[in-house]
Amino acid sequence: ETGVTQTPRHLVMGMTNKKSLKCEQHLGHNAMYWYKQSAKKPLELMFVYSLEERVENNSVPSRFSPECPNSSHLFLHLHTLQPEDSALYLCASSQYTTKNTGELFFGEGSRLTVL
Amino acid sequence: ELKVEQNPLFLSMQEGKNYTIYCNYSTTSDRLYWYRQDPGKSLESLFVLLSNGAVKQEGRLMASLDTKARLSTLHITAAVHDLSATYFCAVDEETSGSRLTFGEGTQLTVNP
């Protein structure tokens, strides 16, 4: 198993659909992250789960809902998205301490297109 | 708020030439990471710099960290086409505990 795996790799959805992105890490890390990468914009941290706490970027709309059932799995639930939400969604994991994030290991990404 | 600035944002260079990408950041940190991203792909870790004066080299790439100047450099020696990609630096803020702040990325194109 590769370090961080994401599914699906590509997703096309309408604005009224509900879908989920899945991420699994096999590195024994204790923190997982969702990043959004849009064209010509910096990487945007959406959500962090570390030491069983959730930290979120307050600018992320509520139509994105994360779920982290355990330290190895992370989901991003999507509902009533907008076309501007089309982007590459990257999952990452790290061995986090209270002082440092640690090196991030990224999955291959899920390319989302909202019609 | 931590700011991370890379320059240049776009770099077109010829094969065989040398160049340096700069990463400046605005707050105290002694942990900095460099990543590479190929078009349509994810980010791949290149270097982890964990202290002032740290220098790491891999092939034609060398990264260094000066925490006093709040500056990291990624030096490219005798560039080849395969190095064409976008390079990101990311800074681990000492007090954040749970986030890396990424630069905007430097899109490098190496021309034959």
User: Could you please report the per-residue DSSP string of B94-105?
Assistant: TTTSS-EEE---
Distance CA A36, CA A26 (A): 22
Are the Cβ atoms of A107 and B92 closer than 8 angstroms? no
Instruction: Give the per-residue pLDDT at A62.
Output: 93
For residue B23, give both structure tokens: 């990463």
B88 touches chain A (CB under 8 A): yes
Residues B35, B90: contact at Cβ < 8 Å? yes
Residues of chain B above pLDDT 90, percent: 76
For residue A25, give both structure tokens: 């890490």
Nearest to A103 among B45, B88, B97 (CB): B45
Q: Is the Cα dihedral A95, A96, A101, A106 positive or negative?
A: positive
Query: How many cross-chain Cβ pairs, A to B, lie less than 8 Å apart?
Result: 54
Q: B17 by DSSP, 3-state: which?
A: coil
Distance CA A60, CA A38 (A): 14
Please state the rounded mean pLDDT for residues B46-61. Answer: 94
Instruction: Give the per-residue pLDDT at B95.
Output: 65
Residues A28, A18: contact at Cβ < 8 Å? no
Please identify which residue in the block is written with the tokens 């030491």: A51
Instruction: Give the per-residue pLDDT at A54.
Output: 78
Quick: pLDDT tens for A21-64.
Answer: 999 999 999 999 999 999 878 899 999 998 767 777 778 999 99
Distance CA A62, CA B62 (A): 42
Are the Cβ atoms of A97 and B97 closer than 8 angstroms? yes
Least confident of A16-25, B5-14, B98-107: B98-107
Instruction: Give the per-residue pLDDT at A39.
Output: 84
The helix (H) or strand (E) run that includes residue A40 is none
B48 touches chain A (CB under 8 A): yes
Are the Cβ atoms of A31 and B100 closer than 8 angstroms? no
Residue of B nearest to A31 (CA): B98
Q: Would you give the DSSP letter of residue A107?
A: -
Are the Cβ atoms of B104 and A42 closer than 8 angstroms? yes
Distance CA A103, CA A25 (A): 14
Q: pLDDT at residue A1 above 60?
A: no
B47 touches chain A (CB under 8 A): no
Instruction: Give the per-residue pLDDT at B96.
Output: 58
Q: Would you give the DSSP letter of residue A16?
A: T
